[in-house]
Amino acid sequence: MPIETDLFAKARNHERLEQLTAAREHDLLPYFRVVEAEPGPVALMEGRERITLGSNNYLGLTGDERVKRAAADALEAYGTGLTGSRFMNGTTPLHLELERELADWMGSEDALVFTAGYLANVGAIATLLGPEDTVICDSGDHASILDAVSMSRARIRPFRHNRLDKLEKMLTRAADDGGGVLVVVDGVFSMEGDLAPLPEIAALCRTHGARLMVDEAHGVGVLGERGTGACELLGVAGDVDLRMGTFSKSLASCGGFIAGSAEVIDFLRVQSRAFMFTASAVPAAVGAALGALRVIRSGEGRELMDRLLENAAYLHAGLAARGFDVVEAATLPDGSSFVTPIVPVVIGDDWRAVLFWKGLWEAGVYANVALYPAVPPGGALLRTSVMATHRREHLDRALEIFERTRDELPDAVPPVGSAAD
């Protein structure tokens, strides 16, 4: 008997199709917009210069001459690609230098470089955990963590975003599960830009005997005196077992890493499928990451991070003063308030967020739009983020455009594609 279900039918009938078609028809799609030059604080996108408030190029190092030189030198020395896994013919002296410098920077015994940040999470989590173990994750954790967790087939015990009481309950339950327990959280949450309460999480993990891993994708090169991330900022770097970082944000490249004990890193080196069964990153990417790391670790790194955080606080205060619903600043253990470079503006309704995005785009500002399922239903965000290289006039102009766009947006936004359309 032939198979009756056409597997590809879901491509014709998926839940997002109607929205996607309507958005395309009305040129309202905020995604896949084309960047036509270097992604600086003002970038050429689809024929026009736009102030970029939607980039993770936090320190602006993708255009730095030293970082570009490091990428070009790596390209010259090792060619365009390595055509093999790190495990086989894909390890160059640059990878080893980068791993040594990352471990030294993070203050860990060792570090392992992966081809993407996504793969670093998958490679660590899905290798360390098996079906006999338990993983406890925050509901706001990045998709790469959640994918890794399902690949591991470990028992999953999720807890509500940043709720320590729920985490504690899960840790108590996990004690009876019988296997090892790993708690995984983002240091800085990628959509809301808020910080995990890491001192309290680390203390709970210690009390309950669980291991702790922190995703520092948005923390490295941004937070802490030396720029190693949220763990450093919150004073718990020594209490966290594993830290993941990516090169695709402040390190101005592509790739990722895990930093931890020599024992665990060596285990991943020979057991992690996401490390062994994919080709090594192109040499230019490794060279750029190393070049960016060296700038960050120089005195100039501190200056760039200071400028980045000043810009974040300025944009946050400017949006709040204009009546926008911005996610609250974090309070640090010393009582001071702190704004990460991710400054989201809560809009609520999906279509309203898309129309707002389009108004900004047409006026010369590019921001990211986060819709469900990236955020909870009805919690659409304009996720803005700043760079160290934004000048005050860029931010002032962007704030003006935000205000004008909001004032020009009709109060009630009929869904595009509805009868009113």
Ligand X SMILES: Cc1ncc(COP(=O)(O)O)c(C=O)c1O
Binding site for ligand X (CB under 6 A): 116-118, 121, 142, 144, 186, 190, 215, 217-218, 246, 248, 256
Q: How far is the CB of 32 from ligand X (least distance, A)?
A: 16
Q: How far is the CB of 159 from ligand X (least distance, A)?
A: 17
Which one, 112 or 116, has the nearer CB to ligand X? Answer: 116
- The token pair at 395 is 């931010």
Q: Which of 218, 316, 358, 390 is catalytic?
A: 218
Name all contacts of 407-415 with Cβ < 8 Å and 24+ positions apart.
408/359, 409/352, 409/355, 409/356, 409/359, 413/349, 413/351, 413/352, 413/355, 414/351, 415/351
Give yes or no: 68 in active site.
Answer: no
Give yes or no: 190 in active site.
Answer: yes
Paired residues of 23 in beta bridges: none
Which one, 43 or 145, has the nearer CB to ligand X? Answer: 145
Which one, 82 or 217, has the nearer CB to ligand X? Answer: 217
Give yes or no: 169 in active site.
Answer: no
- Taking the CA of residue 110 as centre, how many other CA atoms within 13 Å lie in the half-sphere pointing to its CB? 11
Q: Taking the alpha carbons of 346, 349, 351, 355 in that order, is the dihedral positive or negative?
A: negative
Between the alpha carbon of residue 166 and those of residues 61, 175, 204, 209, 320, the distances in Å are: 39, 15, 11, 17, 31
Q: How far is the CB of 247 from ligand X (least distance, A)?
A: 7
Q: Which of 55, 152, 190, 385 is catalytic?
A: 190
Q: How far is the CB of 186 from ligand X (least distance, A)?
A: 5
Q: Which of 142, 249, 316, 358 is catalytic?
A: 249
Written as one letter, the residue type at 42 is V
Q: How far is the CB of 121 from ligand X (least distance, A)?
A: 6
Which one, 117 or 123, has the nearer CB to ligand X? Answer: 117
Which one, 94 or 342, has the nearer CB to ligand X? Answer: 342
Which one, 50 or 218, has the nearer CB to ligand X? Answer: 218
Paired residues of 183 in beta bridges: 136, 212
Q: How far is the CB of 219 from ligand X (least distance, A)?
A: 9
- The token pair at 414 is 């009929």
Q: How far is the CB of 293 from ligand X (least distance, A)?
A: 15
Which one, 118 or 402, has the nearer CB to ligand X? Answer: 118
Distance CA 360, CA 381 (A): 14
Residues marked as catalytic = 190, 218, 249
